Structure 1
Amino acid sequence: MLIGGTVFIAVSVFGGAASNVPMLLINRILLGIGLGFTNQSIPLYLSEMEPPRYRGAINNGFELCISLGILFANILNYFVIKITAGWGWRISLSMAALPAAFLTIGAIFLPEMPSFIIQCDGNTDKARILL
């Protein structure tokens, strides 16, 4: 999650500062990598940390948040396209740094997954407490 969030922040900054089409293409490829990291790691983390009876609801909540993010991004795009100076697309690309910053800062404070603790330390008691 930290890697994905950090890549996402960096790509958002560089996307808003792009000066030509190849820079935008590279930006979109790196954005896909950041999104791939986060869309893979967050549901995995949620599934392992939640009690079994809540896993479906929590993961559906994640999908709902992704869908709401897409909706808000499209609403933002609708309004910034009307900027007559022609730099509205920079706002659109740069605003992706806001949710990425929340993700990255929040991931710093999350506890390790029990399987990670068992793999690194072999401390099953600490992993059982986390569960």
Structure 2
Amino acid sequence: MRNRKVAHIFATDRFHKLKNKRMRRDIFQAIADPTRRAIITLIAIQAMTPNAIAEHFDTTRQSVSKHLRILTECELIKQEQRGREIYYQLEIDKMKEIDKWLEQFRKIWEDRFDNLDKLLATIKNKKK
């Protein structure tokens, strides 16, 4: 019985670690953080080193490195070695994946606004 409990605890702990690792790699969780969104904005303009990125934030270099690691794991950014420096740049294809997901909502809201415009035009014509 004791071995079963130990095995269960080990398996449960391992499952939660894997689950958290997978969750961390979710692109939508990555962009939910304002610091990561700001990093994406900086890197979208030009490739930057971690130190250059860290200069834009009032936080530790380790904190910025953590954000860069999460963005890299999510494949939103990629590293490029140039001499002794590592530069981070935006991964456009992953950004397109986010845009594709948002497109479905854009269409829904455009349809709703079109229906609202028609309704308002009908009401306006009835008042005349």
TM-score range, shorter chain: under 0.3
- TM-score if structure 1 supplies the norm length? 0.27
- TM-score if structure 2 supplies the norm length? 0.27
More helix per residue: 1
Q: Which has the larger radius of gyration?
A: 2
Where relative contact order (Cα < 8 A, 6+ residues apart) is larger, the structure is 1
More strand per residue: 2
